[in-house]
Structure formats: C-alpha cells, structure tokens
Amino acid sequence: MPTYFTIILRDAAGVRRPEGGDTPGGAVTGANTATPTFTDLDNGAIRGTYTPTATGTDSLALTVNGTPIRNSPYISVVGATPVIVPNAMPFGFSNAHPYTYGPSTQLRITRSPSNFLATLAAASAAGAVVTLVYGRRAVRDSAGRFSLTNFRNLTDDFAALSGINAYIASGTFKYTEIIDDLTAEHWGGVMPSFADLSAAAAYIHSTYSNTVQTVLRKNADQIFGIQNLDYAHCQYVAWRDSHDGSGTTGVTAYRTVMERAATKIGCRIFFGLNTLDGGDGSSGVRGTKSPRWTMSPTEIRNYGRVLIASPMCDLFSIWKYDAVNFPTYFAPGSIYTAAFEDLSDLCSGEVR
C-alpha cells in the first residue's frame, strides 16, 4: 500500500500560500529505498507518495526548491499490514469533494452499494478516510419512517460487496453514520426510537466484527439512552447557542456540554461546523435558507480551533461543500478557503 504525505507551503509570515509552482524533491532511505513522486495541487500544497516493499522504519528527506523543509527528515514506520494513520484526525467536507482527498482527510458520502467500491478505490488512492452515510430514502418505510429492517438489508448489501474487507483493513472505510439528521421532519413526522437506533448501531458492529465504527449526527446532549454508539456527530451553529437548558452560550460552553454528554453516553465526538447556515450574521452573506447566515472566515477559524482542541474529538467535518450556489465561498485562494485550510492544518497536527 502506498505511503502518502503532504507538504504545506507558507510565506515568511507563516501564511499558507494560495499558489503552486515550486519544485519538490526527496529521497527515502532505511528499510526501503525510493524516490517519491509529487503532485503540485496549485493551492499551497504538494502531495507526495511512495510505495514501500519492506517492513521497518524509513527516513523521508524532503526539499522544496532545493532547500530542506522544516523538520526534515521525517520518519515513516511501515508495518506488515499497512493502514492509513492520519497525523491527528480526519478532516473533510460533508459531501464528496476532491479538495479534501489526501492524508488526514475525511470524505463523507451517501452512496448506493453499486458505486461504493469505485468511491473507496478513489479514496484509497488519495489516502482518504471514508465515512459512509446512508441515504434517508433507503432506510425509510412506505410511510417515510425509519425502518430497522431496511437498515439491516442495506447494511447487508454493502457488507456483501466483493473486496470491501480490504478497504476496512487498510483503514479507508472506517465509519458508518447510521442516521443523518435525527429530526422528526425527515422521518415521516416520527422520531426514530432510541431502541431502533441502538439496534442499528449494534448491527453495524456485528456485521463488520467491530471493525467499522458507528456515528449518529445529533448533539450528544440530545441522545442519552442510545447504546452501541462510537461517535456523536455534534455540528455547531452560532445562532443556536444555548444547550442543555443551562443558558450557557458560546462555542467553548457548547464544547463543554457536548464533552460531558458524550462521557455520560460512553462515546467519542465527531465535531463539525455548519458553515453555510450556522453563522452569527457577521459574514453578511445569507445561507442556504432565510434567515440563516454563512459563517465568516473569522467564525470558521475561531469556532473550529476550539472544537478541534477538544480531547474527545477524533474527527472534524464542514457542512458543506457547495461551489455551485456559493462560488465565491469555495473559490481557490478565497478568504474562506484559507480558513478551511487553516483548520485542515490543525487537524493534520500542524500548530499555527
């Protein structure tokens, strides 16, 4: 399995550069001897890869324009069964978006079994970690309500795919979000029962022999009683800033409440930001629906840094990538994209 790494280019002030055009170089020595191949992403990042053939410890000496980069050489440990190990935590957008591909990234997707293997192959080639999100229609009954039977049948269809176990073993397919958006309006006016959700999570564990972890997108303080859950996907919105009836406000208080609730449940946290509809209005840009606002670059950085710093946070995502309706927001080199890149750097272990 290939080893991937990413070089982030910064100016003298430490700000990530928006353009490419530099010349990378490198050499691998140690258990393996190789010359990495490089891809300039033209956004201040260079993707590198090499394929080890022996187990052991490798040394990666890396340069840009002939100058060794900071902290080079780097150490890479090659095991008998290679796995994708992000530097810190997976980061990505809540839908398929090529920008998030690469080490320490996460691709959240809703796909049918028919094209899931192709998606996994592309993600594996780019070193991405995948969270499978079931489409609501696929697990509803004729009345639009959550169907545990349909959930189990769909899980069986995915698990039966030829070759899927290899992607689980490599760490490419690691998470299944059993429900996206646990609100009655999406489920025929009836909230899925906690008993059914607990059974659904247990079915994922048993089907994949506990190698795929379960996620539920709902604030942790609203899902007490659900069992067999590995992660509560807690998505922050600034305009809804009071939680748990305590009257506390602010992202730091939100994080504290989520941590306390997740501890009580016995799960970890998958934090995220609703950047298109979760702003406080300071951006001056309307969201996907009125009266919501997008988050400003300052909001994205400030909220994200607080949540990523949580000792209970293992994953982080952004809702959502939409360059069609928000072309300026996601344009390469934009002030918004720079804010996303800063959070990605934090998740990859780079301290600013």
The ranges assigned to domains in the chain are 3-78, 91-347
pLDDT confidence bin for 16, thresholds 50/70/90:
low
Compute the distance between CA of residue 229 and CA of residue 202 in angstroms, rounded to an integer.
8
pTM, rounded to two decimals? 0.75
When pLDDT is averaged across residues 100-115 and rounded to a whole number, the result is 64
127 Ramachandran zone, left/alpha/beta (phi>0; psi -120 to 50) = left
**Longest Cα separation, the chain:** 64
DSSP-assigned beta bridge partners for residue 67: 64
Pick 160 or 78 by higher pLDDT: 160
Say yes or no: do domains 3-78 and 91-347 share a fold: no
- Residue 329 · residue 294 · CB < 8 Å: yes
When pLDDT is averaged across residues 290-304 and rounded to a whole number, the result is 93
What is the predicted pLDDT for the residue at 6?
77
What is the predicted pLDDT for the residue at 273?
95
Specify the CATH superfamily of domain 3-78.
Answer: Immunoglobulins (2.60.40.10)
Tokens for 137?
Answer: 């229609």
Specify the CATH superfamily of domain 91-347.
Answer: Glycosidases (3.20.20.80)
- The answer, yes or no, to whether residue 293 has pLDDT greater than 90, is yes
Q: Name the strand (E) or helix (H) holding 339.
A: helix 335-347
What is the predicted pLDDT for the residue at 74?
82
Report the sign of the C-alpha dihedral through residues 201, 206, 207, 211, in that order: positive
Count Cβ atoms within 10 A of the Cβ of residue 142 and give its class: 0-12 exposed, 13-18 middle, 19 or more buried: exposed
- The answer, yes or no, to whether residue 82 has pLDDT greater than 50, is no
DSSP strand pairing (213-217 vs 3-8):
unpaired
What is the predicted pLDDT for the residue at 197?
97
